[in-house]
Structure formats: structure tokens, C-alpha cells
């Protein structure tokens, strides 16, 4: 950890909330939360206590980091909110949730997850392409989890539906420290929306 670049600011972490996943994924989430805490980056996340979402928060909390959760009221009522986070924002809708998470964050990282995670990271990337924000967007590729997803994006490039320079906006790394360093050093290339 001594080589980790500091000063990135808050990092929004998208990831799965299902508890029935392989331990390698849960451990990677805890370790990433710890890394963010030790680097001084608050964790912005969906406020859940289960699965990888809870593991990211647990890792950050154990390392003394700040955790900021954003959750719709309906999920609070189901008792899914993490009880030990630093700050909890309760909103009405999923759209409000994502909007506030985007507002509070300086970077976006997706760890393995399901449909919600896919949708969230694709929205963050789309917003970068359309210049709704100029923040880095990344995948932490644990055990090759994101390989088929990345192949789909590359196929879209090959078929002419996605520009290759826009595809390069998505940072992909297997090593969490290298990922954090790349996020910290990232500069908006200011690409045109259209050719």
C-alpha cells in the first residue's frame, strides 16, 4: 500500500449485493474497500450490508475509512442498509440514488456484480462519452469476471456502434493498486461526442 497514489477523492463503487457468491469476490471487495480507506478516498456506494456491497463497506470501515451510502427508502424498509457506515442518504427512487452517487463521487469503479452493476457502470461510461461528467470510469477485473463484458464492448466497436476512442475511456485493471493509481492520474481526454 505504500506506493498507492493519494488525493483521488471519493470513489463510487458499483458491485453485487447477493450474498451467495464465491469468497474470492467477497475478499476482493473487502480488500478494495480497505485500499480506498488507506488512500484517503471515501467510499460512495449503494449502502447495502450484504454481498460485495457490504464487503466493500466492511473493508473500508475496518481500515478507518469514510463510507457514504445512498439507498432508496424501499430498501431501507427491507433492512438492507448497512448499519455501521459513516453517512446514509435515503432517497425515493433508483434514479435519485444514482444521481446523488454521481454527484458525490470523483471516480466510478465496478467490481463484479449483476444487472444493476452492469447498468450503473454503463451509465457512468455513457455519461462520460456524452460529457455529462469528466470523471474516470473503471472495472476491477477480479478473476477475469469482466472479460465477456469487455468482449461485448469491443464487438460493438468492431461493428461500428461504439467508437474506439470512447471505448478507451473505460479503464480495466486486475490489480487494485494499479487501478487506483490510474484513476488518480487520469485526465479527461476531451474527446468530441461526434466524429
Task: Assign 2 a pLDDT band (cuts: 50, 70, 90).
Answer: very low
CB 138 within 8 Å of CB 108: yes
Q: Which residue, among 82, 35, 33, 88, has the nearest Cα to 61 in the 3D structure? A: 33
Domains along the chain with CATH numbers = 11-184 (3.40.50.450)
CB 44 within 8 Å of CB 13: yes
Task: Assign 1 a pLDDT band (cuts: 50, 70, 90).
Answer: very low
Helix and strand numbers (H, E) in the chain are 8, 7
pLDDT in tens, 62-115: 999 999 999 999 988 787 899 999 999 999 999 999 999 999 999 999 999 999
CB 104 within 8 Å of CB 9: no
Q: Alpha-carbon distance 67 to 9, whole Å?
A: 12
Residue 127 pLDDT > 60, yes or no?
A: yes
pLDDT in tens, 17-57: 999 999 999 999 999 999 999 999 999 999 999 999 999 99
140: its cell numbers: 476491477
| CA dihedral over 49, 86, 101, 72, signed as positive or negative | positive
SS3 of residue 136 by DSSP: coil
Residue 195 pLDDT > 80, yes or no?
A: no
Looking at per-residue pLDDT, the higher value among 90 and 3 belongs to 90
Packing angle, helices 23-38 and 176-185, rounded to 10: 40
E strand residue ranges, the chain: 11-14, 43-45, 67-72, 87-91, 107-110, 137-140, 170-173
Whether pTM exceeds 0.85: yes
Q: Using a pLDDT cut of 90, give the percent of the chain over it.
A: 89
Looking at per-residue pLDDT, the higher value among 15 and 75 belongs to 15
Mean per-residue pLDDT of the chain: 93
Of the candidate ranges 28-32, 129-133, 136-140, the one whose mean pLDDT is the lowest: 129-133
Amino acid at each position: 500500500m505504500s506506493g498507492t497514489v493519494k488525493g483521488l477523492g471519493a470513489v463510487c463503487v458499483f458491485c453485487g449485493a447477493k450474498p451467495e457468491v464465491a469468497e474470492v469476490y467477497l475478499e476482493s471487495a473487502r480488500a478494495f474497500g480497505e485500499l480506498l480507506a488507506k488512500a484517503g478516498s471515501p467510499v460512495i456506494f449503494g449502502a447495502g450490508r450484504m454481498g460485495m456491497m457490504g464487503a466493500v463497506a466492511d473493508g473500508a470501515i475496518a481500515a478507518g475509512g469514510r463510507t457514504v451510502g445512498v439507498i432508496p427508502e424501499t430498501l431501507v424498509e427491507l433492512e438492507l442498509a448497512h448499519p455501521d457506515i459513516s453517512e446514509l442518504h435515503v432517497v425515493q427512487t433508483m434514479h435519485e440514488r444514482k444521481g446523488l452517487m454521481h454527484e458525490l463521487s470523483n471516480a466510478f469503479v465496478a467490481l463484479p456484480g449483476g444487472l444493476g452493476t452492469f447498468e450503473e457502470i454503463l451509465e457512468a461510461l455513457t455519461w462520460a462519452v456524452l460529457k455529462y461528467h469528466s470523471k474516470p470510469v473503471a472495472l476491477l477485473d477480479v478473476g477475469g469476471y469482466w472479460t465477456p463484458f469487455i468482449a461485448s464492448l469491443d464487438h460493438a466497436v468492431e461493428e461500428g456502434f461504439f467508437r474506439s476512442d470512447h471505448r478507451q475511456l473505460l479503464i480495466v485493471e486486475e490489480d487494485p493498486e494499479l487501478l487506483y493509481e490510474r484513476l488518480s492520474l487520469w485526465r479527461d481526454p476531451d474527446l468530441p461526442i461526434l466524429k
